[in-house]
Chains A and B, each alone.
Chain A
């Protein structure tokens, strides 16, 4: 007999992830892979501020491990393939309890004890299946009579009943329409998962007693079961009124309504409870389910007047304005891009639509595609900055990242240049030049550019660190000179290339008699 196994996944993520585990454990590298694995040098562009020692330790150990390759490769790889990380043969995970048992350290004696007192000895006598045993064999029917036999044996035994309760009887047959159950009995039966009619609880008093019994039992599933019944058999005014003074049950109802998506009743409930802010948020939340940008915009418009907190109100307004803006920009840029006349869109085709992106992404986008536009247009960065009151720091960071990505160094320069009233220019960065340097480096700025900004870092130590990190040799050398730090300069000499201009420069400095070194 065959069995088709179908997986379904909820959010369209890659399929088959779980299934691979059994196979993934295998060390199924081919020899070629192996070769590559051990030979790859992945240590180069890797620095960690002050952990040099440990790094070299690590390198060393890597080398040591690598040097063993020859020996390992001598061996038959097929042999390895069958060993998983746990050291047990692959394929047997299904039946391996070894995974934990190996190390668990429980004494044999203890297990014996356990077996006998739980009457699970029959379990232990299950034939140990071979490594190819699989779930599919579950369905081969009675090919393993022994095991199922033993299972039912175990189940018929009384002590086992608590953890394998009522397996033999399908739950559906457990209907019970007896009218005699008291509220507490009813709740207990519900907790055990039994189908149990609640119809006999007709008076409000009975219903509430049932609810209170459920709440005192603490089982949320039962509380919800009773609430479903109450919701069906009470008018919502009465239900709301009674729940208002029963907060635990109330929270269960709210969660239940959220889960089944009964938005209307949920909003009614919040209105009744006068929880205006939750009402507003809950209404606003619905926009997440609206895909169409125009419809979403219209929906957001209905949110604007709702009783949010003062701070949130501003955000809602912004959200609406932003989406409105994005719709205009999107339409416009789509047109420009397809027309193919604009250079920036030709060189850098848009990767995704700007709709529903956060504010900063929108700002980045406009700094990227619409940097030079006049303030009057909706898509200009300056306009965005003004409309949404984007703070200076935030603006500069975003603009810098966008312009650096385009390698528009003049724009970067202009971003930090200020003129005073006498016409002198001065460099100023609200985010600090050390950040500027880092961002530039991330965007692969050339050394000359980096150097310029590293030099603008005020704190000498930070400057030296950054210059060293990003290999701005001139800055390091000049700084050492200014600090009259001969030792550091000497140390740095070993880090520059032999015979390079930098080395010459250092040598010239070191032999200079003009400088009065401090060490």
Chain B
């Protein structure tokens, strides 16, 4: 079961430092406003904050936006994401105070950084100067020993839909912080427009603060930056490794999950932290779901055996047992029952929604056969109103793998707003337009010439729509993403990364990373890069310094811009075990198909 790391696997750097830095900075910022104060914390910041500082003991008063808050103190402090609507809200409070003739001190702490657009709103609302602003540069939250999250789910929509590059500086700053703490990265690779920009800005930062990382021994040998739109397909698939399935079913939020009464078998929900510290979870998180039962049974039997040992113990042995082992056993016991409960609940839900058939359809789409059947399955799925998000996801998968939008599917049944959602999906390249094949490439090459005129940033509109053409089938062939299997794929003994999708498909993103690491460059991958529409956005940068230890050269930081899925994480962990690497993941947020779809839907302002 759970694959042990190879004995020669490199050690991971200690990322807990990041938490302390963030916490101390926050303490410092709050200290700047001495005395009693009311503190507002934006909902989205609560979970990340909880992971680094304990707020549960504080006297907490809750209120909603609509109710008029009454304050205890003469100082107000707002801890918020830099969003326009937050500024409007704050402005309404401050202006109400002004009308009422109250004077108070106001402070806004933006996390991870402040935007000029926010300041503009403060100015327009006439409260610039009444409010002091600060930044809490908290952009790297270690969710696990090998997973850092920026907790910025809006990155995806902001960049990939709206083309807003506001978070690129945040990414560059985060990378800069990492290289300051953990040494320079001798080998850099990347693919995607955003990846390239983030990389360039990061380099600029390093140059400006020259000397910081010079002479430092690198701890992490490689860094790989990857745009989410290089591979939408993987993110759109149903997840079947345990952690991914838990995320798809219960939504893991900031590294913890709310298990409802159906899992805990009590009337209470339980918030559970899911990371390497949970010994049971640690062993099953990367497993294909079909293996999890067997494992849990085995585990239960072992536990039984360990408990049974107490029979026939004498007093002294018993005392030892109770003082040393019992706590661990009991904890394991609880964990075990919880994960068994989760498995049951997942099974129930999946059985209800014809998971088997759904997976079959997905695999058919990935492999490119029985398209007609798949299309009619999706149509029926829509007709049955199973779930709009799910239907949208399947439509996108069909569209990207088949390179075109199926005509007249009855999405309108989900409400008229779908029109806006569809337009968004098209703009983001999650739905691709069907077009005559040959004429495009000619235009494409013409357009890509325009793109090189970078100084002016002249990318024509034509390009952005053309770039969205998906060549999934050709890429899949080139990179051998569909493993040829004789007989059954043994999910208990995975042969390749395809196990994370039941042996049907190797995640494109992970395959690219694997190939580049193998070659230490993009050499020989020109055709793939072209097919990915990333002709100008695949890069490598190696420093000739030979200070990097062989151990550090087997540590790889993978940066997912726009989010990564637990399936991808599992696949790369598997690759690491095979090759003796260890991967560290940095993502703007952990994502899955449902989150991608939700990010594209349009709601009222």
* Residue of A62, A99, A256, A357 ringed by the most chain B CB atoms within 10 A: A99
From 333 to 368 in chain A, residues with beta carbon under 8 angstroms from any chain B beta carbon are 356-360
Report which of A3, A75, A133, A322 forms a contact with B59, defined as CB distance below 8 A.
Answer: A3
Task: Flag if B63 contacts A57 (CB, 8 Å).
Answer: no
What mask results when residues 509 to 544 of chain B are scored 1 for a CB within 8 Å of chain A, else 0? 000000000000000000000000000000000000
Report which of A13, A134, A193 forms a contact with B54, defined as CB distance below 8 A.
Answer: A134
Task: Flag if A123 contacts B416 (CB, 8 Å).
Answer: no
Task: Flag if B54 contacts A135 (CB, 8 Å).
Answer: yes
A39 → B minimal CB distance (Å): 9
Report which of A6, A95, A103, A114 forms a contact with B39, defined as CB distance below 8 A.
Answer: A6
Report which of A25, A75, A248 forms a contact with B163, defined as CB distance below 8 A.
Answer: A248
The main secondary structure of chain A at its interface with chain B is: helix
Q: How far is the CA of A193 from the CA of B135 in the complex (A)?
A: 9
Q: Is A429 an interface residue (CB 8 A)?
A: no
Task: Flag if B134 contacts A170 (CB, 8 Å).
Answer: yes
A123-B20 in contact given A219-B201, A220-B164 (Cβ < 8 Å): yes
Q: Is A501 an interface residue (CB 8 A)?
A: no
A428 → B minimal CB distance (Å): 17
Chain B residues within an 8 Å CB radius of A100:
14-16, 19, 142, 144-145, 275-277
Task: Flag if A221 contacts B14 (CB, 8 Å).
Answer: no
Task: Flag if B40 contacts A6 (CB, 8 Å).
Answer: yes
Chain B residues within an 8 Å CB radius of A322:
416
Q: How far is the CA of A212 from the CA of B385 in the complex (A)?
A: 48
Chain A residues within an 8 Å CB radius of B25:
164, 167
Task: Flag if B347 contacts A46 (CB, 8 Å).
Answer: yes
**Besides the contacts A7-B60, A138-B26, what 18 more A-B pairs have beta carbons closer than 8 Å?**
A7-B62, A18-B47, A20-B271, A22-B55, A24-B270, A29-B266, A46-B348, A54-B294, A60-B297, A84-B273, A93-B51, A100-B142, A104-B11, A134-B56, A193-B135, A224-B115, A225-B117, A247-B461
Chain B residues within an 8 Å CB radius of A393:
380, 383
B37 → A minimal CB distance (Å): 6
CB-defined A-B contacts under 8 Å, sample of 13 = A9-B62, A17-B46, A54-B294, A58-B343, A104-B11, A107-B11, A148-B31, A218-B201, A221-B113, A228-B117, A251-B164, A255-B158, A397-B384
Q: Is A456 an interface residue (CB 8 A)?
A: no
Q: How far is the CA of A106 from the CA of B57 in the complex (A)?
A: 32
Task: Flag if A64 contacts B300 (CB, 8 Å).
Answer: yes
Q: Is A120 an interface residue (CB 8 A)?
A: yes
Q: How many residues of A contact B (CB 8 A)?
A: 152
Chain B residues within an 8 Å CB radius of A75:
326, 330
Chain A residues within an 8 Å CB radius of B31:
138-139, 148
Q: Is B30 an interface residue (CB 8 A)?
A: yes
Task: Flag if A288 contacts B299 (CB, 8 Å).
Answer: no
Q: How far is the CA of A136 from the CA of B47 in the complex (A)?
A: 17
Task: Flag if A5 contacts B59 (CB, 8 Å).
Answer: yes
Task: Flag if B60 contacts A97 (CB, 8 Å).
Answer: no
Q: How far is the CA of A159 from the CA of B357 in the complex (A)?
A: 58
Q: Is A508 an interface residue (CB 8 A)?
A: no
Q: Is A67 an interface residue (CB 8 A)?
A: yes
Q: How far is the CA of A254 from the CA of B162 in the complex (A)?
A: 8
Residue of chain B at shortest CB distance from A357: B415
Q: Is A259 an interface residue (CB 8 A)?
A: yes
Task: Flag if B200 contacts A255 (CB, 8 Å).
Answer: no
Task: Flag if A5 contacts B55 (CB, 8 Å).
Answer: yes
Chain B residues within an 8 Å CB radius of A49:
351, 356
Chain B residues within an 8 Å CB radius of A106:
11-14
Q: Is A241 an interface residue (CB 8 A)?
A: no
A315-B416 in contact given A54-B293, A68-B333 (Cβ < 8 Å): yes
What mask results when residues 167 to 196 of chain B are scored 1 for a CB within 8 Å of chain A, else 0? 111000000110011000000000000000
